[in-house]
Amino acid sequence: MALELAGVAIDQLVSLEASEVARFVRHAVPGMNGELAQDLGRPSVRIRLRGIFYGSDAADRLGQLRSHLLARQPVDFLCELTGEGYFAQVIVDQLEVAERAGRPDEFDYECVVTEYVPPPPPPASSLLDGIDAGLLDEATAMMDDIQNALAEVAGLAGLLAGAADFADPTTRLPAMLDSFTGLAGGAGGTLRGLGDLL
């Protein structure tokens, strides 16, 4: 079995364990025997590798594997099992290392990798990107009509504000009397002149 993790050949494996489960939420329904199970997909597949690094390059290979743990970035995972290849991207979740006394350049390790699922694409840059341009034109025209109607209402309100005394004739009487007095004031002299003539 050939296994490679981010360019690091994992060739002295002691064991390889894969963990895959389904994710369900269960609802108790009154009056129903059993529960209603709702499928919520599955968590990522986890693979536990146990093996040995030994030889003059053992510390370098172990250091390279540890650097992927510290980077917290997805890495390539290549596995050939029973003649079939399996390729995916994984995240190195856990790394445990043990070194035995009297065995230089030999490290026992246990590494857990988890299937990497890329995040969904970001939402559209504008909320209006998916709207038909004709609908946008109609909405713009409707807003223009509403603004024009509000301007007309404001003009009517100004006319009504000036006509507050229109229904009350007594508010205009003093002005009418003043204009009549001004006109009638000159009429007294004219009547005296007529009286002298007669």
Q: Has residue 104 been placed in a domain?
A: yes
Do you know the residue count of the chain? Answer: 198
Domain range for 86 is: 2-21+40-115
pLDDT over 70 at 115, yes or no: yes
Instruction: Tell whether 142 and 106 lie within a shared domain.
Output: no
Using 50, 70 and 90 to split pLDDT, how confident is the model at 16?
confident
Task: Report residue 180: phi and psi, to 5°.
Answer: -70, -40
- 17-74 per-position pLDDT tens digit: 888 888 889 989 898 898 988 888 888 888 888 888 888 888 888 888 888 888 889 9
Instruction: Tell whether 186 and 107 lie within a shared domain.
Output: no
Q: Has residue 45 been placed in a domain?
A: yes
Instruction: Tell whether 49 and 83 lie within a shared domain.
Output: yes
What is the residue whose two structure tokens read 């223009």?
A: 144
Cα distance between residue 99 and residue 14, in whole Å:
15
Cα distance between residue 168 and residue 164, in whole Å:
8
Instruction: Tell whether 14 and 104 lie within a shared domain.
Output: yes
Report in angstroms the alpha-carbon separations of 129 from 1, 109, 123, 126, 142. Answer: 50, 52, 11, 5, 20
Instruction: Name the pTM for this structure.
Output: 0.54
Instruction: Tell whether 12 and 57 lie within a shared domain.
Output: yes
Instruction: Tell whether 74 and 159 lie within a shared domain.
Output: no
Q: Has residue 188 been placed in a domain?
A: yes
Residues 26, 9 contacting (CB under 8 angstroms)? no
Instruction: Tell whether 13 and 84 lie within a shared domain.
Output: yes
In the chain, how many domains are there?
Answer: 2
- CA-derived radius of gyration, the chain: 47
Instruction: Tell whether 77 and 152 lie within a shared domain.
Output: no
